[in-house]
């Protein structure tokens, strides 16, 4: 006698009746590998690093703005003119030809479009394996759709080395150094 109703295996071939194995649980490290997750973690890491540098920190509501973090450096300098700094945060995990490559653009209809001065003030690139930050005033990479970053252990000097851990640029008006 056959049972009627929605029972597993009813009217199915033997291979179909086998239970579907549960997807393996991902470790936090495996979840970090997706670009969205890695971006979220990088933004949190930047906020923590900036807080340790003494900056006031805010985040825009939603994902509609071009910047990820707003910094308030005005309370770090006595008698400083109040201002806010818009920062776009990106990250990289893998070496390509001995350098880390970080996209410095947004996509419109599948096309890379560089950030403009009307959108952000600074570009922060996080090299995750080295726990290292590169802080670029946008004026220094204007028009670029990617930047390359050297590993700490690289002997040959790289053009972007002066921006490694350059938190001081965020404190200066317009991110420029004055003598």
- CATH code of the domain containing 166: 3.40.1350.10
What average pLDDT score do residues 29-44 get? 78
* Residue 33 included in any domain: yes
* Residue 5 included in any domain: no
CA–chain centroid gap for 4, Å, is 55
What average pLDDT score do residues 22-51 get? 79
For 48, half-sphere exposure in the C-beta direction (CA atoms, 13 angstrom radius) is 8
pTM of the entire predicted model: 0.76
Per-residue pLDDT of 42-64, as tens digits, reads: 999 999 999 999 999 999 988 78
Cβ(83)–Cβ(139) under 8 Å? Answer: no
Domain around 91: 29-175
Cβ(126)–Cβ(91) under 8 Å? Answer: yes
Q: Which residue's entry shows tokens 């995990």?
A: 93
* Residue 133 included in any domain: yes
Q: Which residue's entry shows tokens 């703005």?
A: 65
Cβ(99)–Cβ(158) under 8 Å? Answer: yes
24 pLDDT higher than 80: no
Across the chain, mean pLDDT equals: 82
Within 8 A by CB and 6+ apart from 118, the residues are none
* Residue 12 included in any domain: no
* Residue 144 included in any domain: yes
Q: How many domains does the chain have?
A: 1
Question: Higher confidence at residue 142 or residue 77?
Answer: 142
């Amino acid at each position: 006698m056959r049972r009627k109703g929605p029972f597993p295996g009813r009217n199915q071939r033997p291979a179909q009746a086998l239970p579907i194995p549960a997807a393996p649980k991902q470790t936090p490290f495996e979840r970090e590998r997706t670009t969205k997750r890695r971006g979220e973690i990088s933004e949190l890491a930047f906020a923590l690093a900036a807080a340790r540098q003494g900056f006031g920190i805010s985040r825009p509501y939603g994902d509609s703005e071009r910047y990820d973090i707003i910094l308030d450096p005005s309370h770090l300098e006595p008698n400083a003119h109040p201002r806010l700094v818009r920062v776009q945060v990106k990250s990289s995990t893998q070496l390509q030809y001995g350098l880390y490559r970080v996209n410095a653009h947004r996509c419109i209809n599948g096309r890379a479009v560089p950030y403009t001065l009307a959108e952000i003030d600074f570009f922060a690139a996080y090299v995750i394996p080295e726990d290292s930050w590169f802080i670029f005033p946008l004026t220094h990479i204007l028009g670029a759709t990617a930047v390359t970053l050297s590993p700490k252990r690289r002997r040959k000097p790289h053009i972007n080395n002066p921006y490694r851990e350059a938190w001081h640029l965020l404190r200066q008006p317009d991110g420029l150094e004055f003598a």
